[in-house]
Amino acid sequence: MHDLRLERRKQKRSKKRRKQLLYSVIFLIVIIIGIGSYLLLQTYNTAKDSYSGLDRPGGKSELRSDTVKIGEDPISILLMGIENYSSGGKNGRADTQIVVTLNPDTNKMTMTSIPRDTRVDLPTEAVGQENAGSHKINAAYTYASLSGYSAPKLTVETVENLLDIPIDEYAVANFEGFRDIVNALGGVTLDIKKGFWEKNIYNNDKRIYFTEGTTNLSGEEALAFVRMRKRAVNNTYPRDERQRQFIKAAISEAISVGTIFKVGEITDILGEHVKSSLKPAEIYALEKEYSSIDATAIKTFEISGSNHRINGISFFIPTDQDLAEISRKLKKELGLPADKVQDE
């Protein structure tokens, strides 16, 4: 009888811890990618500190006929990871951009990585006459910051134009937040598919070596893992694939019973290094609706295309057919009218 009561107490503690971890999953995704779908904050005050709206007419995307209700309607969120360590924390580039869709009717989540070198046109009214024209998509955040336009808003609008879908919300995190949150978790374990090395930007550019197989990455190692862009490795183990792989591994880490979640430490990191258009009540609604999502079942979409040098600058040019197909698939996930979507 004593053993039975002891076992029940253990199960209750395990369930309580699991609920706390699940409650943190949504926000964790944003931090670890720098980035990369839906959010949850630990405290109401931290959520208020991190809130920064998009200031759009009617509170919605121009591609929406009606305002979406968070937790009730399918939504899209743009995750942005900002590289601003080399510029002293100012006017950084959105080097990581991932569009996440969440559908409460199907309880499904998708991730679509936007290649950082994708060629787009930036409007004069947002970046000024001297900076208007063709640029890499990661520069939209930079030029908007320089011109005084809302950097998250311009990046959201640019992605909307590229994919022809509404982006309902955004979340942005910098590299400092990425590193610190992973360290607070005690690292993230994943299976490295191909060995390579990358510079450690926090330790005089000393090399961090990654070998094939399962390993636990610290915050600095995790940042190097998702940042590395060496062409030889990217051809066989692309950066976008590594980022999506890391998101899934981090979600699994957060909801595992054995993870000790340091709530106080995480909360301090969030307010300083993260901004989002989601309000505290909306964050809670997301957690309530999606905390049971299985990380292994997250569907990922990749944008196909090729690299081209234009006026001395190397751009990624998506194929029109593939871009249109991904747009149709995302519209389907969002419950929007779309042409026939090919099954995968």
Task: Concatenate the DSSP letters of all residues of 7-44 into one string.
Answer: HHHHHHHHHHHHHHHHHHHHHHHHHHH--------SSH
Binning pLDDT at 50, 70 and 90, where does residue 18 land? very low
pTM of the model: 0.76
Question: CA dist 221 to 178, 196, 252, Å?
Answer: 11, 12, 18
Report the candidate in 100, 133, 137, 94 with the shortest Cα–Cα distance to residue 316: 137
Q: Would you state the pLDDT for residue 2?
A: 52
Cα gap 171→314, rounded to integer Å? 28
Indicate whether 295 pLDDT > 70.
no
Which one is predicted more confidently, 277 or 30? 277
Fold held by 15-186+255-333: Nucleotidyltransferase; domain 5 (3.30.420)
pLDDT digits (tens, 9 = 90+) for 296-338: 678 889 899 999 999 999 999 999 999 999 999 999 999 998 7
Q: Locate the domains of the chain by residue range.
A: 15-186+255-333
Give a three-class secondary structure readout of 54-75. Answer: CCCHHHCCCCCCCCCCCCCCCE
Distance between CA atoms of residues 53 and 78, nearest Å: 13
**Is pLDDT at 343 greater than 90 in this prediction?**
no
Q: State residue 340's pLDDT score.
A: 53
- Please give the pLDDT value at position 184: 75
Whether pLDDT at 213 is above 50 = yes
pLDDT at 234: 78
